[in-house]
Amino acid sequence: MRLTRLVVNFDTLDKYAGAPNFHDVVVSVADADTVIAVGAMHDRLRYPLGVWLEISEDYSAQMAARDVATLSWLAELERVVVSSSNAVAHARVLEALLTNDEVNFSNDVATLVGAYNRPAPPAPIAVWSWDGSTMRHGDEVLREDFSGSNAGMDVTVFR
């Protein structure tokens, strides 16, 4: 498995939105809100993609789940990567909230009782976690293989 993270400015995302090599890509927009930027370009995206979201005290996994669910109705999302100091726990919260089911869940970062996040995404979205050194989704583990800048974007490849 290989994932590529692109950190781009909005105009660069717009330039590459229809490129066929956008498969297995997660996007982070440096000069705009990633979810809003990808949503604004939904009509120009010709291939599925993923988004990279930084979870913090100001932007919780619960808020990210709301945003991802909404975005999934505009753009074809294959995956979301949750980045934070307690990324695995935040990813589990996000994963639990991307269903139509009532969520009763508790871990180190959240306690949810009778929570709903409807409508659920129209297709399953793989939720990955990134803790600064390891990317995880279930039993799959990826590590940084390459990092550099190219054509106005920062590129990181995980294998």
- On the question of pLDDT at 57 being above 90, the answer is yes
CB 141 within 8 A of CB 128: no
Span 128-135, average pLDDT: 97
- On the question of pLDDT at 19 being above 80, the answer is no
Span 126-134, average pLDDT: 97
Q: Is it true that the peptide bond before 122 is cis, omega within 30 degrees of 0?
A: no
Q: What percent of the chain has pLDDT over 70?
A: 97
Domain 3-158 class, CATH top level: alpha beta
Rounded Cα distance between 26 and 4, Å, is 6
- On the question of pLDDT at 12 being above 90, the answer is no
Span 3-28, average pLDDT: 84
Three-state DSSP class for residue 136 = strand
CB 119 within 8 A of CB 69: yes
* The predicted structure's pLDDT at residue 101: 94
* The predicted structure's pLDDT at residue 20: 65
Rounded Cα distance between 111 and 107, Å, is 6
